[in-house]
Amino acid sequence: MAVAEPSPSLDILVRDPEGFAIWHGPPFTNGQPRIKLDTVQCTSTKFSEDGSKLMVTKSDSLISIYECQSLREIRSLQVPNVLAATISPCGTYLQTFQKSTSPQDKNVVVWKIDTGDSVYQLFQKNMTKATWPAIRFSSDEAMACRLATNEIQFLEPADFSGGIVHRLRIPSIAAFELSKTVGSFIAVFVPESKGMPANVQIFACGKESQSQPVARRSFFRCSSVQLNWNCNSTGLLVVVQSDVDKTNQSYYGETKLNYLTTDGTHEGLVPLRKEGPVHDVQWSNGGKEFAVVYGFMPAMATIFDKKCNPLFELGTGPYNTIRWNPKGKFICLAGFGNLPGDMSFWDYIEKKQLGTTKAELSVTSEWSPDGRYFMTATTAPRLQVDNGIKIFHHNGSLYYKRMFDRLYQADWKPESPDKFGDVEELVKSIDSLKMEEKKTQAPGSKSAQPSTKATPANPPAQKPAAYRPPHAKAAASVQAELFGGSPSGEMSKSALKNKKKREKQREKKATGDV
């Protein structure tokens, strides 16, 4: 009988001005996280998608790679004048972008981490969000491609020395996105030009099947797009953004949500029930449903199936963010950014709300890989005050909170959700641990009970007192001196004594015994 492998531990990366550290994730012992790797000086960090490697930029010319299982530094590279760096999905390759003075300087370099050798180089004039990383890898690193003028160039990572394997010619292409399933499809975006509408096309990645797109959608009034593949690579959600709203209803322009399928069964708009912008969209872990937050405030949140039929309404409220947990069971609906931070937690399987809470001023938010915890962080430079981390249970109850003078980054270490058990079983196991902890305490022990109440692991934040102007405080103190009270509203001993005398006299008068 095969023994089931134990679930991996949850780890949290925290970066502040002193550098980065790795914490043991929840559940915490005694309510506080243990340090797994002590602080290491750095300027930036990034996990590989599979969580096997960690890239650490220590200066403008030194980049280190850590193996996440042992947290041991396995490679250190000297890269002068580096402006940006990223790591491939499986942690095999490091890609760097350096300052360049002439086209002869090949300033984009792909390094093989195991050997530290440079395996591919090219020149790139500048770096934008659409053009970086210059080399994009598939999730298994079996395929690589790059955006060039009017074409996408495909490379073979197993042998970069072979150069460009084949080209996909697309005039005026501005952006592309590889599908999640290995080497299956690629979505491309061509902006408006000379009266011609913008369009998004889907092509098969195979060299012999790239002559015609498998799906295409055109639209006017389009400045940029967001391309969102589901995990099965059967559906693509396209958020179309226009800088100008012709109806003058929104200062931020106009957004529309389009849906395309690779089998050609659907190419059109998603039927949203409320006018206004599309704030956020996310696929479920299984890729069969997607959730959308949309409309003018208070925004609506709806879950659709892969045929664009509405399945479930999550209600309305001050929301602009939706996060589906990796197991597909729980959903967090939130309002971050310029909204007050309301959060609503739902059980999608049971179709019921689990709880509501707030996480004001949150900059980042994400579920843990096992789907049990939800972490929000307030980070610099976006916000310079009230930096900190909050970790919530799946039902919205606060589990842990820690404030920082300055916090730059807080991330879960990536892990495959398949390595963890079912969420319901994990939640039950945590509840049983809590019950065991309670049983270890002596029942009815007076010494134990007050100490538990006096020093909780995460004491609730006290509500601030109502503001009182200086003249009101002075008036209260004067009144206390004249009438025997105290500034806080409590009566002095002499005032209480006089009050009792007056009450006794009133009782005697009422009974006629004067």
What is the per-residue pLDDT for 488?
46
pLDDT (tens digit per residue) in 393-418:
999 999 999 999 999 999 999 998 88
pLDDT: which is higher, 226 or 129:
226
**How many CB atoms sit inside 10 A of residue 208's CB?**
7
**How many CB atoms sit inside 10 A of residue 310's CB?**
14
pLDDT (tens digit per residue) in 471-494:
554 545 444 444 444 444 455 667
pLDDT (tens digit per residue) in 187-217:
999 988 888 888 999 988 876 666 788 889 8
What is the per-residue pLDDT for 478?
42
What is the per-residue pLDDT for 348?
92
Q: Residue 304: pLDDT band by 50, 70, 90 thresholds? A: very high
pLDDT at residue 440 above 80?
Answer: no
pLDDT (tens digit per residue) in 46-89:
999 999 999 999 987 899 999 999 999 999 999 888 889 999 99
Q: Which residues of 142-180 are buried (b: 16+ CB within 10 A; e: fewer)?
A: ebbbbbeeeebbbbebeebeeeeeeebebeebbbbbbbb
pLDDT at residue 141 above 90?
Answer: no
Q: Residue 387: pLDDT band by 50, 70, 90 thresholds? A: very high
72 bridge partner residues: 67
CA 238 to each of CA 48, 61, 76, 160, 371: distance values in angstroms, whole numbers, following the listed order:
26, 38, 39, 32, 26
What is the per-residue pLDDT for 237?
93
- Going by the DSSP 8-state scheme, the letter that residue 491 receives in this structure is B
pLDDT at residue 250 above 80?
Answer: no
- Rounded CA separation 381/313 (Å): 35
What is the per-residue pLDDT for 457?
42
Backbone angles phi, psi at 72, to 5 degrees: -105, 140
E strand or H helix at 280, and its extent?
Answer: strand 278-283
What is the per-residue pLDDT for 461?
46
Average per-residue pLDDT for the chain? 82
pLDDT at residue 27 above 80?
Answer: yes
Q: Which two tokens stand for residue 25?
A: 């994730």
